[in-house]
Structure 1
Amino acid sequence: MRYLAPYQTGLWLAEYFDIRCQLCRTYRSVPQPQLAHAYSSQDVESRGDAATQFLPSRPSSMAKYRQRFNSGLLCKHCHHSITWLPTPFTVDIAAGTILPIQAATYYDYPMRQAIRAFKYRENMTKLPLLLHTLRQLPRPHGCHKNNSVIVAMPTTEQRLIKRGFDPVLVLATQLSKHWQIPLWQGVARIDNTVSQQGLTRAERLSNLDNAFALIEKPPVKRLLLFDDVATTGASLQALGQAICSQTMPLTSDESHTTDYYHIRAYALAHGSQS
């Protein structure tokens, strides 16, 4: 994971030293815990200098220090403009087994432009916005570092060479830090698929036939799949199906249930990529 250091350094600089909103670049950014509070519509419309609204009348020196070096990433207006949590949807991954998929936001302006800039041009200036949005994903109930792992959507060797980096893995690493749940890279993607962009759902599913292979057994029973954009959910569905088909017991005896896995899926954004 050493190659992820430049991304982490850029995020630290954005979050702790840049007091301006990473989206509008006009108003002060606000620390994440303060953005979690409910604001009145009057607060949102006034916009103003967001950071000063949360300061006590006579801040201590420690409070001033925390304000200076923990400004956050977005102002409260921009935060509210992008953090509309989509309704979860489900896909079938095995007989009687569904995969719930939850995205952090919709694949619309400005997220569409930011994701494309980071994914296809490695535009580092968009990463803080993506990280802020990623943090809106609700932490899975009952999941922690000892019983769960995050499985980032694998990329092919050919695509990794072409891009020079793995954008989904970069984002998954940040989600891992936020949730304090480790990454697990025990699934490989076969180099015989094409990009899913622009394909119909039927074409996506056909394109992903036998696209994933487990290279080791999952270390825990709770698997949290992650992708950057979920359109129809076909990629996450195929990944979930591969895990189920390659880990389920070969016997139908109900007493052999040690290989039963709890699988959920998460994405940065949900919507059409066309």
Structure 2
Amino acid sequence: MRRVGLAPYQAGLWLAEYVDIRCQLCRVYRSTPQSQHLQDPSLSNTSSSVIADTTLRSLTSNYSSFVNICQQLSSRFGSGLLCPSCHNSIAWLPKPFEVDITTGTTLTIQAATYYDYPMRQAIRAFKHHEDMTKLPLLLHAIRQLPRPHGCHYDNSIIVAMPTTNQRLIKRGFDPVSILTAQLSKHWQIPLWQGVKRIDDTVSQQGLTRAERLSNLNNAFALIEKPPVKRLLLFDDVATTGASLQALGRSLSLSSETAMTTNPQTHNKYHLFAYALAHGSQS
């Protein structure tokens, strides 16, 4: 039987979640299992040290038992990365904000946290220096995002903000794809990669909102038709929402074009947008 290889970051992610029981944010206090955050009585007697010991023992056994116990723990301890104080400091979702995508149509963007310290430093280290030790903290924040009401495996897809080939070659990895893959697992909604980003745009960092919007004109192209009508867009940082706005506009215009060509298709998409971080709360 062919063994499926792990993603390069996956083993380290599991170890950070289940073996290193220090808070991933302050690095001082012991982290608290999700059962205690959610007041789950069925797991109230399970300590972090017991979980760590159990996982360490699994590392000495075969590969399949290691994967099995990690999968079991993953379903129980999704918020076991932070101490209660640090968990509460980032647990409040920013207020959703709206951007116009077409005449009379807006796109609501919900972020998991603010682009402030310490999340800003963690995101920069992950994106620009491939620091995988920051990944557990970012995933902890993403798991606070509520799945859209009525969206599930059969009627929705997640669309990750596509990157350019040039940027992918320069970085050597796609941070948004890694984050989106974890959100897909958390929400149990499949990914869809039917949008391509054009290579002639420049980085959005340092640009004003007007410059961001101008830079993203015609930045996205559909390479296939979405299989469902509910499209959940995701980006890592939505500073002004310009990238998600442009992506949503491309999808919305493709829907309008299809309806004009064939009025019987009824292909109008329902768009939702999410991000790891947005703006600043100050």
Deviates more, 1:242-251 or 1:98-107: 242-251
Structure 1 gaps, min length 5? 39-53
- Measured against aligned partners, the alpha-carbon deviations of 1:16-42 in whole angstroms (never above 9, x if no partner) come to 22222111122221222432459xxxx
Identity of aligned residues (%): 72
Offset of 1:249 from its aligned partner? 4.2
1:231 aligns with 2:239: yes
Q: Which amino acid aligns with 2:220?
A: F
Offset of 1:250 from its aligned partner? 4.7
- CA contact under 8 A between 2:259 and 2:266: conserved in structure 1? no
CA–CA distance in 2 between the matches of 1:170 and 1:37?
30
Task: Give 2:13's match in structure 1, choosing from 11, 14, 17.
Answer: 11
Deviates more, 1:65-74 or 1:79-88: 65-74
Match of 2:98 in 1: 90
Q: Aligned residue pairs: how many?
A: 252
Seen in structure 2, the aligned counterparts of structure 1 residues 150 and 161 have a Cα distance that, compared at 3 Å, is same
CA–CA distance in 2 between the matches of 1:10 and 1:226?
24
Seen in structure 2, the aligned counterparts of structure 1 residues 230 and 67 have a Cα distance that, compared at 3 Å, is farther
Task: Give 1:161's match in structure 2, choosing from 159, 165, 169.
Answer: 169
CA RMSD of aligned residues (A): 2.5
- Measured against aligned partners, the alpha-carbon deviations of 1:136-156 in whole angstroms (never above 9, x if no partner) come to 111111111111111000000
Offset of 1:74 from its aligned partner? 1.1
CA–CA distance in 1 between the matches of 2:51 and 2:132?
27
Seen in structure 2, the aligned counterparts of structure 1 residues 67 and 225 have a Cα distance that, compared at 3 Å, is farther
CA–CA distance in 2 between the matches of 1:16 and 1:257?
49
Task: Give 1:108's match in structure 2, choosing from 116, 119, 123.
Answer: 116
Query: TM-score of the superposition, structure 2-length normalised?
Result: 0.82
Match of 1:50 in 2: none
Match of 2:155 in 1: 147
Seen in structure 2, the aligned counterparts of structure 1 residues 192 and 249 have a Cα distance that, compared at 3 Å, is closer
- CA contact under 8 A between 1:151 and 1:183: conserved in structure 2? yes
Match of 2:192 in 1: 184
Q: Which amino acid aligns with 2:183?
A: L
Deviates more, 1:141-150 or 1:22-31: 22-31
CA–CA distance in 1 between the matches of 2:30 and 2:258?
57
1:198 aligns with 2:206: yes
Match of 2:24 in 1: 22
CA–CA distance in 1 between the matches of 2:232 and 2:255?
15
Query: TM-score of the superposition, structure 1-length normalised?
Result: 0.85
- CA contact under 8 A between 2:230 and 2:269: conserved in structure 1? yes
- CA contact under 8 A between 1:103 and 1:266: conserved in structure 2? yes
Q: Which amino acid aligns with 2:12?
A: G
- Measured against aligned partners, the alpha-carbon deviations of 1:37-74 in whole angstroms (never above 9, x if no partner) come to 59xxxxxxxxxxxxxxx844xx79xx955995556211
1:126 aligns with 2:138: no
CA–CA distance in 1 between the matches of 2:215 and 2:7?
34
- CA contact under 8 A between 1:189 and 1:213: conserved in structure 2? yes
Seen in structure 2, the aligned counterparts of structure 1 residues 134 and 3 have a Cα distance that, compared at 3 Å, is farther
